[in-house]
Structure 1
Amino acid sequence: MTYHCDDFFTSVMRQTPGLVVDPEAPIKGGCAALYPGMLQDAHVLVKAPLDPYLSKGMGKQSVETEIAAYKTFASCNGIVKPLATGNAVGLPYLVLPHLVPVDSLVREMDLPTTLEIKYAVISTLEEMHTKYGLAHHDTNPTNYFLDGRIPLLGDLGTVEVCNSQKRIVGGTRLFLPPEQKQGKVLAANDVYAAGVSLFTMMACFDRSEIDSRQKISKERGVLVDDNSLVGPEQLSV
């Protein structure tokens, strides 16, 4: 099936009155692209698996998972709240507030601010684990956001049921514990990733630093294809 961006955005804007999207300036995400736009004078991002590769398989599944997760966590104060969700020309989409990603600020933050963000994220993760029985499974500073001074956790496309087993491993490689690389979905995986995240924030690793370290690991033969399982002996952190 062929997807046409014009048809997609026309349908999205028709379903969300007041929304204007710039389809020519996408920001690549992990399993979906982010398109900047405006909604009632507020900056927003439209998240959708529009790339020909992403519009099927993992991309589409990730956005569908994220939509379901946001609905599940609607009453959780520490989670980013989508402004709209829907389906256009057979593709799921999210309209999200354009918030400041924490990883873009790490070089400017002092230690008290870093710890405040980390405590807030850990509190949100604890609620996800204990109240809902779900694990985020991609806990890292690129998925932490600030709404003013309020830390929020976003990018829920990898949320899984705790104590389950997965054939395909999701997440960001630098932050994966051995158990997650074996396909085990555990609350402890988020705790491990939160610890690595705190280290990278205190060491002032921004997104380029994180990508660079993963690239180095890949060049050394540590990392494999994103859809493959990795053994604990290949841990790259």
Structure 2
Amino acid sequence: MATRNVFLSVGAASNEEQEAFVRAVEDRLRSEGLNPQTVGRNAFSSDAPLKKVVELFDNCHGAVVIALERTFFPSGIDKRGGPSETQLSNVRLPTPWNHIEAAMAYSRRLPLMVLVESGLKSEGLLERGYDWYVQSIKPVPSALTTNEFNGVLSDWKSKVDAYQAAPIKAVNDPPSKSPADLTIRELVGGLRLAQLWGVLVGLAALVAGAFALGAKLIGHI
């Protein structure tokens, strides 16, 4: 089977340990016949990063999120000044791009595998309870040899194969209709400008031909 592209959501590594783990994940994906695509690692563009992210997603059959510590707060306050104010300590957060790209993958119905460094704050699309399984993992290469990781990877990969064979429509895509069920307005609205112009020219020719034929018939009466 040909190599399939998968989107890899991961921020720039903060230290050598994180970089070693990310490379281990990339190598494991490639060994499975999957080609990880990440803006800033192996895909670059002169446009804004989000444009390149969209472009990559258009050519991927699955997505992997690696959430690693990016920001650390020894102490802080949640909902400061309100009745639910809470003192925080040792808060660890990943790059916000993990949340953005996870949402983009889900909206496209791409098979999603989420790896979250143990100890990160569980919130947003990186917490459990959604339509995907979140693995809490220690970011070391040996973590990719556990039964849990191998099992989840195998299941996710089978979904990538199925998606490649029959891509699933995005969440917001309107349901398709048979041409016979479409109204004139829907048919015209679905045409591009060049297509619409061609239809109008064709209709004009048809009407002109009908008038010419009618004139001949009248002349023979």
TM tier, smaller: under 0.3
Work out which of the two has the higher radius of gyration on C-alpha atoms and give 1 or 2: 2
Q: Which has the higher contact order (CA 8 A, sep 6+)?
A: 2
Write 1 or 2 for the structure with the bigger share of helix: 2
State the TM-score, normalizing by the size of structure 1: 0.24
